[in-house]
Structure 1
Amino acid sequence: MKALILAVQFMTRLPLPNIAAGEQDFARAIRWFPVAGIVVGLCVAAAAWAGLRHDPWTGALAALLVWVAITGALHLDGLGDIADAAGAAHHDRDRLSAVLADPHIGSFGVTAIALQLIAKLVLLRLAVDTVPLMALAAVPVAARIGPLVWTLTLPPLHRGMGTSFGAGANWPACAAWFVVLGLSAWWTSAWGLPAAAVAMALWSLWLHRKIGGISGDGHGAGIELVETATLAALVFVR
């Protein structure tokens, strides 16, 4: 139970009580990250449904605002940091670690975050009146399987919160969540959902080639990009 609470507490901004937890609890929490995705997904779907009572654009905007608010823009911050680091590494790879550690955001990061929000808004507009709301709710769940995959396939860039969580990742838990994803696609007839697995693999390859490993920022950026890729697949795969 501690691991589940830690997962939801870390991945959302829900007002949960503080609990005493050890290293093993943090390690096991990564296996419950998709459950935090269920919470996020249900809130996003509810916002889309409420906004649709007015018109599709309101539904899309409401869904996006709730999506950002409930996660506290945590993953967007990771996306901005990775974009800045990749831009810096293009000119001087030795600067990569320094840029990742810098709390300030640069032009690459601002651009990446802006494009991500625009892409999500447009895709949500296309999705809210054509994609089943339960399939929409499954998108954050699918993306939060990603940290399990990336932890198992990439070396850590440095020690930190990401390595504390990552110690509990294993292939059986990863496989179990992929089964859940497949069942969700079958139940909702949303055959774009499995595209999340392809997006995870591509992100793993990109991180390996461009960054050299996984960090908390890599996880956050990956979650954002997998969400967008999965949304696009839901819209365009029928």
Structure 2
Amino acid sequence: MMRALLLAIGFLTRLPVPAHAYDDAQAKAASLAWYPLVGLLLGLLLGVLAWLLRDTPSLLAAALLAAAWVALTGALHLDGLADSADAWIGGMGDREKTLAIMKDPRSGPAGVVALVLALLLKFSALASLGPAPWAALLLTPTLARAGLTALFLTTPYVRSGGLGSALSGAPSRACGLALLLTAVGCVLFGSRGLLAFLVTAAVFGLWRQACMTRLGGCTGDTAGALAEMLEVALLVALAVR
């Protein structure tokens, strides 16, 4: 159990974990159930930083928060967003072409535009949250990682040997419990939590359907894109609420 948690932290963040955590093959699949908790940990760290920056001008504080967010995650999901944007446009509706473009390490114009827009929207939303952004900072990374758990739990993985292939055997009961606890946690935030849950469900459903239609399943890149789209949508929704 502890190795699975450490593996989830090591994969989803740049926080240091013991090297032996990566040696357990069974822990890789079990780590999926811990994704929402890792998201909550990210939210707590960002919340502490926001508190330390409480007297900093809002634009500068938002920029520092956005930079810390990228640093803590190592831009892992931003890479998936860029690859998916390039592939979705360049693939022209063709499954094999879409998969081939996602394997290309280079970023095309669509990927660059997607990255710029995602970071700009995050920065603007963070700057608009006001002096008490705690609910958004906790809900957003938690629900985005819960979306990943739900995606791998309910969607076929279409690449053999990809980064996400080890997650296909994740324990469904533990993952289901993690998702249930995440949903219950949203209740603690009242109307903000309900809004965040509905936004998460909508974005997840639309992107999963798009992936099933185009690819017949998901890849690591589409999972990363989902996490970024969820974070952007949640921050914007909670900022304009």
Answer yes or no: same fold by TM over 0.5.
yes
**Structure 1 residues 34 and 126: CA distance shift in structure 2, 3 A:** same
* 1:141 CA displacement: 0.8
Are the counterparts in 1 of residues 121 and 236 from structure 2 also a CA contact under 8 Å? no
1:223 corresponds to 2:224: no
1:210 maps to a residue whose letter is R
Cα contact 1:151–1:169 (8 A) shared by 2: no
Aligned partner of 2:204 in structure 1 is 200
For residues 210 and 57 of structure 1, the distance between their equivalents in structure 2, rounded to whole angstroms, comes to 39
**1:129-156 residue CA offsets vs partner (Å, 9 max, x unmatched):** 354x144222101110112221233221
Aligned-pair distance for 1:174?
A: 4.1
SS in 2 for 1:193: helix
Q: Distance in 2 between matches of 1:91 and 1:30?
A: 30
CA distance in 2, matches of 1:27, 1:181: 19
- Give the Cα separation in 1 of the matches to 2:107 and 2:17: 29
Across the two proteins, how many residue pairs are aligned to each other? 235
Q: Bigger CA drift: 58-67 or 71-80?
A: 58-67
Matched with 1:121 is 123
Say whether the 8 Å CA contact 1:148–1:166 is kept in structure 2. no
Question: For residues 91 and 180 of structure 1, do their structure 2 counterparts lie closer, same or farther at Cα, with a shift above 3 Å needed?
Answer: closer
After TM superposition, the structure 1 = structure 2 runs for residues 91-102 of structure 1, keeping only pairs within 5 Å, are 93-102=95-104
| Structure 1: segments with no counterpart, 5+ residues | none
8 Å contact kept, 2:153–2:170: no
| Cα distance per residue 1:173-195 (max 9 Å; x no partner) | 34433433333333233232212
RMSD: 1.9
Deviations 1:84-125 (A, max 9, x none): 111111175432222111111111111111110001111111
Counterpart of 1:21 in structure 2 is: 23
- The superposition leaves residues 58-106 of structure 1 with CA deviations (integer Å, 9 ceiling, x where unpaired) of 2211211110000000000000011111111117543222211111111
CA–CA distance in structure 1, aligned partners of residues 97 and 119 of structure 2: 27
* TM-superposition CA deviations, 1:1-40 (whole Å, max 9, x none): 1100000000000122201533211110111111211221
CA separation of 1:135/1:184 partners in 2, compared to 1, >3 Å: closer, same or farther?
A: farther
- Percent identical pairs in the alignment equals 33
Q: 2:34 aligns with which of 12, 32, 35?
A: 32
Name the CA distance, whole Å, in 2 between partners of 1:173 and 1:200. Answer: 20
* 2:158 is the alignment partner of 1:165: no
Any conservation in 1 of the 2:77–2:224 contact (CA below 8 Å)? yes
Aligned equivalents of 1:93, 1:183: Cα separation in 2: 37
Runs of 4+ residues deviating >6 angstroms: none
- TM-score (norm: length of structure 1): 0.90
Which of 73, 76, 85 is the equivalent residue of 1:74?
76
Unaligned runs of 5+ in 2: none
- CA spacing shift, 1:187–1:92, aligned 2, 3 Å: closer
For residues 196 and 174 of structure 2, the distance between their equivalents in structure 1, rounded to whole angstroms, comes to 19
Q: Which residue type is aligned with residue 8 of structure 1?
A: I
Does the 8 Å contact 1:51/1:60 carry over to 2? no
Q: Distance in 1 between matches of 2:46 and 2:95?
A: 38
Task: Give the letter aligned to residue 80 of structure 2.
Answer: G
Q: 1:193 and 1:175, CA in 2 relative to 1: closer, same or farther beyond 3 A?
A: farther
Give 1:50's aligned residue.
52
Structure 1 range deviating more: 138-147 or 15-24: 15-24
Q: Secondary structure at the match of 2:91?
A: helix
Aligned letter for 1:126? S
| TM score, norm. by length of structure 2 | 0.89
